[in-house]
Amino acid sequence: MQRKFPNLCKPIKIGDVIFRNRMFSAPMGGTDITADCTLGPKSTAFYELRAKGGAGAVTVSEVVVHPETEGSHMFHLDRKTIGSLSSFTYTADAIRRHGAIASVELSHSGQYAGTYLVDKDKKKGLTQWGVSANVRPDGLQVQELTQELIDDIVASYGNCAELAKIAGFEMIMVHGGHGWLVNQFLSPFFNKRTDKYGGSLENRVRFAQEVLDSVRKAVGPGFPIEFRLSGAELFEGGYELAEGIEIAKLLESRIDLLHISAGSYQFGFSVTHPSMFLPHGSNVYLAAEYKKHVNVPVATVGGLNDPAMMEEIIASGKADVVEMARALLADPEIPQKVMTNRDEDIVQCLRCFVCMAERAVTSTRRCTVNPLIGRELDGTEIIPSADPKKVLVAGGGPGGLEAAISAAKRGHKVILCEKSDQLGGILVGEQAIPFKYEMYMLGVTLGKLAEDAGVEIRLNTPVTKEYADNENVDALIIAVGSEPLVPPIPGLKGDNVIIVNDYYLQKDKVADEVIVLGGGLAGCEAAIHLAREGKTVHLVEMRDELAPDANIRHRPILLKEIEKSGIQVHLGFKGLIVTEEGVVCADGDCAEQLVPGKTVICALGQKARRDMADELLDCAPHVIQIGDCVKASTITTAVYQGYHAGLDI
């Protein structure tokens, strides 16, 4: 067949191992790390899903090589812990049986030990070991590693690599980036040693060389070793691109694949994991420069989810391999869809950080657009119903679409009605904000997948009680969503006011000085967009903080973006009256203040459409309510509830 993306689909030989394509699943932490730090069955299923989806390699992350000096709650691999070696063996089997190469990332957090502990206070009881003695930003003391401990840690890399090979893994990744221990030795910011590991570049690279030599001795020649390096640390005092290239030159004889990432844990989370505010592929330039100076294959990573972009990266020689993490949570089948020319079916990652926030908060995984993530053992295949029903879905937002798709895949006759002229629900409004365009495209893609599944879609068709009764369906899924909150503030329905949901229809009406009324997530993101357009933006919020509804990973990035965008923030301001000159507010002292602006964007939240939902409750024998019509919530909730609503019929 003629492949649309031939370079992505081309096999690659690394060491003595042949990988079926150039699309690798980058390291991602598991979903159920046991108390003994073994791979739980949910984690095995989590990694297997990306193998089934067609990835060339799937990397298990992270194995702590030396628990004695690294107290993080991450995977351990040893012979003394019952279930450790066997759990890795079962996981390697689960990955390899689908044709992917199983890889494992060996790591040590150094002075950031305890980062992934659920009990954050427990970190204070750990001894923090790093390349040099210092005090962490959170006040914890860091002790300098002794030569004896360094030797022991170096040996532990080899021990873990040997066990990984025994377990069936066919590649080892050594984590040398992101501010973890190997990177701490490489970095002039962290490394203040005066012995053979400090000072000159050759000395700072010595620890990484010893680690790689230890791994090579354990796994033997021809066994692929991938080295993950921050191409540049991208903060003051860290190494820059030119010095990073010199580091790579000193390491390349010991490795088979150079994996170029970016940034550092302490200073650059949103760079290492590019946020929605950055362009896709924002770190590719680093890999492209390294590619000019080393002779081993180079991998690139970071915010990649577009096959056309990834094809160009390989075709133009910027990199030999593309690696994806969040993108393969959103759609584990990206490689398979690329290989079979079905790129229009790809459900793209929103870069919303729900996946990483969920792990930090509950030690599980969840994905906004993929209801299977973290719950793969509940079943990833949809079983056809033995008794097909006639199903009506009221509402064409993300929840309704997801419900329609899963119900149709069960074999039911599904009719989806949407009262407007296009699918997507609340996501339709995101098309006017470039960094949220993928949210709009989610509705488009789910609409296509629904049609492909055989769903009959009826636009411009509100579902009333009479309509539902006339259809005489066996099951009704109510997904009528939410509507904007517009409180009775005088002037809020004036000509100079635009409801944030309708911004995409009226963006040409927005003046150069804008007030965004409401500092929740939607208001903050609208304000950032307007500021990027060069407008003077005032952000008004009656509470004393912005975006409390944003997840813990996205919120700090969002707030930093607001700060650097020059948005004028008014906290503790309650809107009283909207006038042609702006919004009269009561400040924290109940004094009236005029916030000036010619246009007001109303972003005061959403409320469930309970009147519409309540009208439909008795319109079928089997009725399910999902998403925002139950309680104004998130895309994540709507998609998850919608998927299971379709399965429950």
pLDDT by residue (tens digit) across 324-380?
999 999 999 999 999 999 999 999 999 999 999 998 889 899 999 999 999 999 999
Does residue 315 register a pLDDT over 80? yes
134-149 mean pLDDT: 92
Read off the pLDDT band of 9 (50, 70, 90).
very high
pLDDT at 606: 97
**How far is Cα 232 from Cα 260, in angstroms, rounded to an integer?**
9
- Taking alpha carbons only, the member of 115, 17, 42 closest to residue 72 is 115
Whether the CB-CB separation of 206 and 145 falls below 8 Å is answered with: no
Place of tokens 């729900």: 354
pLDDT at 283: 97
**How far is Cα 146 from Cα 131, in angstroms, rounded to an integer?**
9
pLDDT at 301: 98
In percent, the amount of the chain with pLDDT more than 90 equals 93
Does residue 567 register a pLDDT over 70? yes
Does residue 578 register a pLDDT over 70? yes
Does residue 123 register a pLDDT over 80? no
pLDDT at 71: 81
**How far is Cα 269 from Cα 115, in angstroms, rounded to an integer?**
13
Does residue 479 register a pLDDT over 70? yes
**How far is Cα 606 from Cα 480, in angstroms, rounded to an integer?**
13
**How far is Cα 498 from Cα 539, in angstroms, rounded to an integer?**
14
pLDDT at 139: 86
Does residue 417 register a pLDDT over 70? yes
pLDDT at 138: 83
Burial class (CB in 10 A: 0-12, 13-18, 19+), 454: middle
Regarding beta strands 582-586 and 574-579, do their DSSP bridges make them parallel or antiparallel, or are they unpaired? antiparallel
548-566 mean pLDDT: 97
Read off the pLDDT band of 26 (50, 70, 90).
very high
3-7 mean pLDDT: 98
DSSP assignment of 327-396: HHHH-TTHHHHHHTT-GGG--------HHHHHHHHHSS---SS-TTTT-GGG-SSPPPPSS--EEEEE--
pLDDT at 83: 95
Q: Which of residues 635 and 73 earns the better pLDDT score? A: 635
Whether the CB-CB separation of 546 and 560 falls below 8 Å is answered with: no
135-140 mean pLDDT: 87
Q: Which residues of 617-641 are buried (b: 16+ CB within 10 A; e: fewer)?
A: eebbeebbbbbbbbebbbbbbbbbb
The CA angle 156-92-154, to the nearest 5 degrees, is 10
pLDDT at 127: 76
Domains of the chain: 6-375 (3.20.20.70), 390-484+608-647 (3.40.50.720), 497-604 (3.50.50.60)
pLDDT at 54: 98
Helix then strand then coil, % of the chain, to nearest 5 = 40, 20, 40
pLDDT by residue (tens digit) across 491-517?
999 999 999 999 999 999 999 999 999
- Taking alpha carbons only, the member of 2, 105, 107, 3 closest to residue 54 is 3
Instruction: For 402-458, list the strands marked E by DSSP.
Output: 413-417, 456-458
Whether the CB-CB separation of 355 and 366 falls below 8 Å is answered with: yes
- Residue 254's Cβ-side half-sphere holds a number of Cα atoms within 13 Å equal to 23
Whether the CB-CB separation of 211 and 66 falls below 8 Å is answered with: no
Does residue 312 register a pLDDT over 90? yes
**How far is Cα 263 from Cα 250, in angstroms, rounded to an integer?**
20
Q: Which of residues 477 and 362 earns the better pLDDT score? A: 477
pLDDT at 73: 85
623-632 mean pLDDT: 97
Does residue 150 register a pLDDT over 70? yes
Q: Taking the C-alpha atoms of 34, 82, 152 and 251 in order, what is their torsion angle to the nearest 10 degrees?
A: -70
Does residue 639 register a pLDDT over 70? yes
- Taking alpha carbons only, the member of 147, 632, 116, 170 closest to residue 425 is 632
Kindly state the tokens that stand for 197: 């590991």
Radius of gyration, alpha carbons of the chain: 26
Question: Which of 108-122, 159-173, 190-204, 624-638 is the least confident region?
Answer: 108-122
For residue 348, the one-letter residue type is Q
pLDDT by residue (tens digit) across 426-438?
999 999 999 999 9
pLDDT at 268: 83
409-430 mean pLDDT: 98
pLDDT by residue (tens digit) across 231-280?
999 999 999 999 999 999 999 999 999 999 999 987 888 999 999 999 99
| Mean confidence (pLDDT) of the chain | 96
Read off the pLDDT band of 137 (50, 70, 90).
confident
pLDDT at 120: 66
Does residue 125 register a pLDDT over 70? no
pLDDT at 124: 66
Whether the CB-CB separation of 519 and 602 falls below 8 Å is answered with: no
